[in-house]
Each structure stands twice: as structure tokens, then as C-alpha cells.
């Protein structure tokens, strides 16, 4: 059940953010980072976290 929810969230991230449309791994890393630090769920922090995940 948890895997199904994660799969749906990853698909949603890939639809919502154009930069993740062709990057399943980046979307997975982004989702993992959000899950580990829920205080980063504001929009400004999501944008910042995205940049950190892709530029590593």
C-alpha cells in the first residue's frame, strides 16, 4: 500500500513540475527528501530543495 501511494505521489510530482517529467529518479529523490523532512513542505522550500537534489 505504501509503495502504491509513493508511486502515485511520484507521478503527481512528474506532472506538476515540468523539470521532473522525464526524470523519474529526480522525482523519487525529491519525494524522499520531502518525506524525511516534512517541515520543508512550503512552496518556497520545495523549490529550493528541488535545486539541491538535482545539482548533487
How far is 38 from 19, CA to CA, in rounded Å?
Answer: 22
Residue 13, pLDDT > 60, answer yes
Domain ranges of the chain: 2-54
Given a cut of 70, is residue 48 above it in pLDDT? Answer: no
Please give the average per-residue pLDDT across 41-53, as a whole number. 61
Could you tell me the pTM of the whole model?
0.54
Whether the CB-CB separation of 30 and 20 falls below 8 Å is answered with yes
Mean pLDDT of the chain: 75
- Residues 13, 50: Cα–Cα separation, whole Å: 11
Q: Which residue has the higher pLDDT, 46 or 4?
A: 4
Dist. CA 30–CA 14, nearest whole Å: 10
Helix (H), strand (E) counts: the chain:
3, 0
Amino acid at each position: 500500500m505504501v509503495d502504491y501511494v509513493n508511486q502515485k505521489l511520484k507521478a503527481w510530482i512528474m506532472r506538476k513540475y515540468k523539470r521532473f517529467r522525464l526524470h523519474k529518479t529526480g522525482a523519487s529523490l525529491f519525494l524522499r527528501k520531502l518525506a524525511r523532512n516534512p517541515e520543508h513542505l512550503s512552496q518556497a522550500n520545495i523549490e529550493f530543495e528541488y535545486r539541491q537534489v538535482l545539482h548533487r
